[in-house]
Amino acid sequence: MARPTGLVATVVVVVALAILWAFPLVAFPNPGTNDAIWLSNLELALLLLGGVGLTVAVVRSGPRRAVICAGLGVFVIGSAAALLLGFAVFGNNSNDRFLPLLFLPPLIAGPGFLLILIGLVLRRDRDLLRAGAVGVLAAALVAAWVLLRGSRDWLLAPYGFDEIAVILVVGAALPTAVRAVTRG
C-alpha cells in the first residue's frame, strides 16, 4: 500500500504538470511574436533555482545520498539531452530563439555529471542502477514534453519557460521516486 505522503506527492506533481501544460494555452491563447518575451529571460533564474534545489536535495538526503545523487544526475543529463533532441527535431540554426536549446544543455548537464560522480564515490551497488533507471524514465518524460510542445510552442510565449519549469517539477519529485525503488 502506498504511503499517504507518496500519494500526496504524486497528486501534487500530476497537478503541477497539468497546470504547466495548460499554462501557455490559457495565458497566451493567440500569442504574438514577442508577447511576454520576459518569460524567456526567467529561464536562467529557474535553472539557478533548480541548482539550489539539487543542493538541498543532496544535503537533506541523508543515508540515501548516493542513490539520490545517481537518480538526479541521470535525470539532469537526460533533461539536457531532451533539449538537444528538441533542437535536432525542430530547431533552426538561423533563428536565434532556438539558441537556448543549445546553450542551456551544458548548463544543465554539468551538475548532472557531478551528481553521478558523487553517487559512484559514495556507493556502488544495484540501487544505483535502480536510481539511474528512475532518472532515465523521468528524463524520457521531459523529452516527450519537449517534443510534444514542438517548435510552435518554443517560438511563442512562454518561450521554453514551461519546459524548464517541467524539469524543475519532475526533478523535485525524483528523490521521492528514487526512495521508493531503492532499499536505502
Q: Does residue 164 contact residue 23 with C-beta atoms inside 8 Å?
A: no
Confidence band for 1, pLDDT divided at 50, 70 and 90? very low
Write the Ramachandran bin of 123: left for phi over 0, alpha for psi from -120 to 50, otherwise beta. beta
Q: Would you say the pTM of this structure is higher than 0.85? A: yes
pLDDT over 80 at 4, yes or no: no
Residue of 87, 93, 89 whose CA lies nearest to 160: 87
CA-CA distances (angstroms) from residue 124 to 23, 56, 68, 180? Answer: 41, 23, 13, 18
Q: What is the mean pLDDT of residues 123-130?
A: 88
List of residues 6+ apart from 161 with CB closer than 8 A: 39, 40, 42, 43, 46
pLDDT (0 to 100) of residue 129 = 92
Of 98 and 108, which is predicted with more confidence?
Answer: 108
Q: Say how far apart CA 183 and CA 127 lie, in whole Å.
A: 7
All three cell numbers of 163, joined, read 519546459
User: Considering the chain, what is the average pLDDT of its residues?
Assistant: 89
- pLDDT tens for each residue of 30-66: 877 777 788 888 888 999 999 999 999 889 888 889 9
